[in-house]
Amino acid sequence: MAAAAATPPAPAPHVPVLLRPLLAAVAPVRGVWLDGTLGAGGYARGLLDAGADRVIGVDRDPLALEMAQGWGADYGDRLGLVQGNFAQMDDHATDLDGVVLDLGVSSMQLDRPERGFSFRQDGPLDMRMSQAGPTAADLVNDTPEGALADILFLYGEERASRRIARAIVRAREEAPIETTLQLAGIVERCLPRPKPGQAHPATRSFQAIRIAVNDEYGALIAGLEAAERALKPGGQLAVVTFHSIEDRMVKRFLQIRAGATGGGSRHAPRVEQPDPQFILKSRKAIGPDAQELDENPRARSAKLRVATRTGAPAGPIDRNAIGLPMLKGGK
């Protein structure tokens, strides 16, 4: 009699980046929190296990909500689920004790080739977090060369943006670019072979296209403003970023809202500053420790910033002052 096939091991649970320092920075965890980037649920579960009375999980990806139906059953009505963009979080909840945002693409999305986020696995060139609207293929095949180069440079900090945009336009004249490996191959041929330990040549280009497809920078600024409106006095905002542009935007927003942008010239007339909307927990971002880097190499570029909401009224902010990258078309 043949031996029974071995049961494959269960997949390792998703461990969110910087969860331990985040929970330490906002301790004691209590009250109602909103996780604006629910993903696989790592932060939401961490907050619930640490003492939050309730967590509202928001995500524009329907897959995240579908997955949460399984693990969320353990928490009953302590977990609420909303499909939507965190840029409108205050439409779903106010008077919150805390908001957490984990920016960028999730491992859940990267690990599914059919979603089109990964340059390492072949799949349709999609990249839509909400699974609705124009795809990355639409952007790559329809955007004029100059605008495409601007996207790669401003959203991905890709120095070879013009060379890559030119190569994309030449390739799409022969046939539409429809898959992730097609696009990755075009980018790779434009750049030197990476040295051991360096990122894949297509990393910056895929980042830029994904950000453009999902309007991630616009959503980030709107989300920070929405968090300001949704948090109660004493509520805490924690944001995890994975690349320099996002981190600069979050840093600048919090500096402006905390009145920590410098005193100006001592020769200029004194200008009365409005009361700050946030108090910074630390002027410096929190990064991963050695243990986390050993457990999760993805954490190497992660930064955490935390601030506490004051009782000052929320208000509009100059997006140019935050450093929002602006394409010539205005988006």
Q: What is the pLDDT of residues 133-174, one digit of tens each?
A: 999 999 999 999 999 999 999 999 999 999 999 999 999 999
pLDDT at 10 over 80: no
Q: What is the pLDDT of residues 28-39, one digit of tens each?
A: 999 999 999 999
Radius of gyration, alpha carbons of the chain: 21
pTM of the entire predicted model: 0.89
What's the length of the chain? 331
First CA to last CA distance, the chain: 66
Give the whole-angstrom CA distance, residue 57 versus residue 43.
10
Q: Which of 12-21, 44-53, 101-110 has the highest mean pLDDT?
A: 44-53
pLDDT value, residue 265:
47
Which residues lie across from 231 on neighbouring strands? 96
Q: What is the pLDDT of residues 260-315, one digit of tens each?
A: 876 544 554 555 667 999 999 999 999 999 999 888 887 888 999 999 999 999 98
Token pair for residue 149?
Answer: 């180069």
